[in-house]
């Protein structure tokens, strides 16, 4: 899938240009609404506190930032990064009550921030859409402080045959449902294909280790529909 993305310049941008205004609905369709529970699982691993700095990459419309700020102080600053300008604008509109959110339009492969400044780096349902996994993970390592933690929430490989059968058949219906709900089928065809072609849990774990992270691990959620990968910068 990574090579597929590299060969399809602008594909990801075009997909999210089409769905940015319905991004929350898109997440609901892709996960049957369970993405909210998965994101709370991710937040529990962060254990938010006011003296920590977070960068959320591929932030979409800011769900992780909102959850973090609701757990601490809504004036605490978080850096939200997304490569799609429209997604950033929608996030600003959606979270306009949170004045100390810093929004940056940038790819995950080349973040315009200094070295060693964040306690946590999160990326939720965005890693599979990056053009270069290796560069993305290297950038995550660069911007984290020593002792900082990398956390990735991403669709993964199901480890239960019955659940896999159910989800695979539901996935086939998602483009048609997307077309019925928002009148657009193609973005959902891409998204389901990107999930099917993304690497498995152990392959991603190996890449994280090779990016100089330590104490690397992952946990499956919902039978492996998604997984949270973790690594520490020492």
Domains of the chain: 2-13+35-159+198-232 (3.40.50.150)
pLDDT for residue 11: 55
pLDDT for residue 169: 87
Look at 78-87, 114-123, 179-188, 207-216 and tell me which has the smallest mean pLDDT.
Answer: 179-188
H/E stretch holding 191 = helix 186-197
Highest mean pLDDT among 5-9, 77-81, 129-133, 152-156: 152-156
pLDDT at 5 over 50: no
Q: Rounded to two decimals, what is the model's pTM?
A: 0.88
pLDDT for residue 117: 96
Residue appearing with tokens 């086939």: 172
40-77 residue pLDDT tens: 999 999 887 777 899 999 999 998 998 888 887 655 67
Closest-CA residue to 139 (of 105, 130, 147, 154): 130
**Cα(190)–Cα(13) distance, integer angstroms:** 12
Mean pLDDT for all residues in the chain: 86
pLDDT for residue 4: 43
What confidence tier does 107 reach under pLDDT thresholds 50, 70, 90?
very high
Give the residue, 231 or 161, on which the prediction is more confident: 231
Q: What angle do CA 138, 142, 146 make, to 5 degrees?
A: 125
């Amino acid at each position: 899938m990574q090579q597929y993305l590299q060969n399809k310049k602008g594909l990801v941008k075009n997909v999210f240009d089409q769905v940015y205004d319905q991004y929350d609905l898109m997440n609901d369709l892709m996960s049957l609404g369970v993405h909210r529970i998965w994101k709370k699982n991710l937040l529990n691993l962060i254990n938010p506190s006011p003296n920590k700095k977070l960068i959320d990459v591929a932030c979409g419309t800011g769900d992780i930032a909102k959850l973090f700020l609701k757990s601490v102080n809504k004036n605490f600053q978080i850096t939200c990064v997304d490569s799609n300008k429209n997604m950033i604008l929608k996030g600003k509109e959606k979270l306009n009550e949170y004045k100390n959110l810093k929004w940056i339009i940038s790819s995950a492969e080349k973040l315009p921030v200094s070295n060693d400044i964040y306690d946590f780096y999160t990326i939720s349902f965005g890693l599979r859409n990056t053009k270069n996994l290796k560069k993305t993970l290297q950038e995550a390592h660069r911007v984290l402080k020593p002792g900082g933690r990398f956390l990735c929430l991403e669709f993964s490989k199901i480890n239960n045959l019955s659940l896999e059968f159910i989800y695979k058949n539901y996935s086939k219906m998602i483009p048609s449902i997307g077309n019925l709900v928002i009148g657009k089928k193609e973005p959902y065809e891409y998204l389901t294909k990107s999930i099917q072609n993304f690497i498995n849990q152990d392959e991603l774990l190996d890449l994280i280790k090779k990016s100089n992270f330590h104490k690397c691990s992952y946990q499956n959620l919902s039978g492996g529909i998604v997984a949270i990968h973790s690594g520490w910068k020492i």
